Chains A and B, each alone.
Chain A
Amino acid sequence: MRVQFKTEGGFAYLPGLSKPVTIDTDRLTPEEAGKLERLVEAAGFFGLPATSDQPRGGADFRTYTISISSSGRDHTVRIVEPVEDPQVQALVDYLGEKARDSRAGPRSRDSY
């Protein structure tokens, strides 16, 4: 399974932080791969609409774009926060964490 995740918008929107992050389950440990696959399944990802409803008014909310290719299925979803479905939110949270880990590098809090 190949997952691409991108965050756009928000008060602190910076193009540098908005580059897509790609995760390939072939490159993860079996445990991590399983975790991601379960999150995708629980979110009902392949059945989600391609775009969510726009919020009524509002500004500085972020938009998440998730593209997943798996066993011949391809699907892309654009979600505007706040995310209604807690299972979808769990997937977004996980991918957001991975994106932060891949960017923060030597400056992540864990390394102090």
Chain B
Amino acid sequence: MCRQIKQRHSVFCVLPPQILRRVAENGTVEQREVALQTLATDSTYRTLRAVRLAAPVTTPAAVAVADQLQRTISNARNTQNLPGIVARAEGASATGDPAVDEAYDGLGDTYEFYREMLDRNSIDDQGMPLNATVHYSRNYDNAYWDGRRMVFGDGDGALFNRFTVAVDIMGHELTHGVTEFEAQLVYSHRSGALNESLSDVFGSLVKQYRNGKQAAEDADWLIGEGLLAENVQGVALRSMKEPGTAFDDPVLGKDSQPGHMDDFVNTNDDNGGVHINSGIPNRAFYLAATAMGGFAGEKAGPIWYAAMRDPRLKPNSGFRRFARLTAVNAWNLFPDGEEHRIVQDAWRQVGVMI
């Protein structure tokens, strides 16, 4: 890492983070620049955590680690041509098009959540550019991740609003990229439901992060709030707190997500019910997070993230393997705490015995 710093500033590479931080705050312009670069290139979790802990809240700008956020929002102009025309590049000001601006902000919020709370630099942890296309197709009731970019529809207006309306949707899609990069959970049946749940979990955490690192007990744990059109009988697309209660509408039907293994849905539809059975691990996360208390991005989030990146998680892993890994990683991260017991209990409450 210190190879990236000019020779005459090599002394900065031996300075511990606390001193680098002081230089970043109080040094000359040049000294501050080099201190920030040194902090930025040392990406060990410990270093950044020390910086974050040492940083008083009154001077956030001085200790801002050099950002690698690189967003490009494109407009497909209601065609299916991807990527579309560039509508807003990184650093550009708001365009007045809500879909463009919501995508821009949502991608930024997701990037910042991952960077600050999980020490992750974008989808690949190496500053991968974040690309999204809005106004895809006509009456398009969907948003998806195609392996390289996010694609958002405008909704049909009668059942669904535009798919950039909720930040957790963007967090959800971006997290598919992270999961693909880290765990490669196969997108079908149980591993697929786990994949979907991870996107709902981290999508929710982005929303709670943006709401001022809101405490778990204060969060609504709803996915896609604001997505359902005005006359639809429902509050959101899914509820992590109480799967199966998000909507009950004559056209949409009733929310059919299970919250317990007893109600696991065996189906071949939807790649084996990946959007249905995700309710079970979703609820486990909700139970763990609320039992731990405080902002879920501090403890439950890092535990789930560590389990996602655990080499023992395989592409075809199911709920029980993942649950065990959350308990093991809870112990690793918090060896003297109650967290591993809370995690174990949360899974048991949804019928996954570990």
Complex CA distance for A104 and B252, rounded to whole angstroms: 9
Q: Is the CB of B251 within 8 A of A105?
A: yes
Check A61/B269 contact, CB under 8 A, given A16-B251, A107-B231: no
* Residue in A10, A59, A82, A96 whose beta carbon sits within 8 Å of that of B187 in the complex: A59
Compute how far the CA of A21 lies from the CA of B36 in the bound complex, rounded to whole angstroms.
Answer: 59
Q: Give the CA-CA distance A93 to B253 in the complex, in Å.
A: 23
| Total A-B contacts with CB atoms under 8 angstroms apart | 117
| Among B82, B137, B252, contact of A16 (Cβ-Cβ < 8 Å) | B252
Quick one: which of B143, B145, B237, B276 contacts A15, CB cutoff 8 A? B276
Asked if A15 contacts B256 (CB within 8 A), the reply is yes
- B157: Cβ under 8 A from any A Cβ: yes
Q: A17-B252, A104-B251 in contact; A82/B146 too (CB < 8 A)?
A: yes
Taken together as a complex, chains A and B put the C-alpha atoms of A15 and B279 apart, in Å, by 14
Distance between Cα atoms of A46 and B145 in the complex (Å)? 30
Decide if A4 is an interface residue (CB 8 Å cutoff). Answer: no
Assess whether A14 is in contact with B252, with CB atoms less than 8 Å apart.
Answer: yes
- Flag if A11 contacts B144 (CB, 8 Å): yes
- Inter-chain contacts of A61 with B (CB < 8 A): 144, 146
B139 and A97 form a contact (CB under 8 A): yes
Q: Are B144 and A16 in contact (CB under 8 A)?
A: no
B252 lies within 8 A of A10 (CB): no
Q: Mark A69-107, 1 if CB is under 8 A from B, else 0.
A: 000000000000111000001000100110010011101
B176 within 8 A of A: yes
Contact B147 A62 (CB under 8 A): no
B163 x A82 contact (CB < 8 A) = no
Task: Give the chain A neighbours of B195 by CB distance below 8 A.
Answer: 59
Instruction: Check B90 for interface membership: any CB of A closer than 8 A.
Output: no
CA distance A97 to B227 in the complex (A): 20
In the complex, what residue of chain B is closest to A62 when comparing beta carbons? B142
**Binary contact readout B274-305 vs A (1 if CB under 8 angstroms, 0 otherwise):** 11100000000000000000000000000000
Is B276 touching A59 in the complex (CB atoms < 8 A)? no
Give 4 nearest A-B pairs by CB, closest first.
A16-B253, A57-B147, A59-B176, A60-B144
Chain A positions near chain B (C-beta within 8 angstroms): 8-18, 55-63, 81-83, 89, 93, 96-97, 100, 103-105, 107-109
Q: List 15 A-B contacts (CB under 8 A).
A: A8-B269, A9-B271, A9-B274, A10-B144, A11-B142, A11-B169, A11-B275, A12-B224, A13-B270, A14-B256, A17-B253, A57-B147, A58-B144, A61-B146, A109-B157
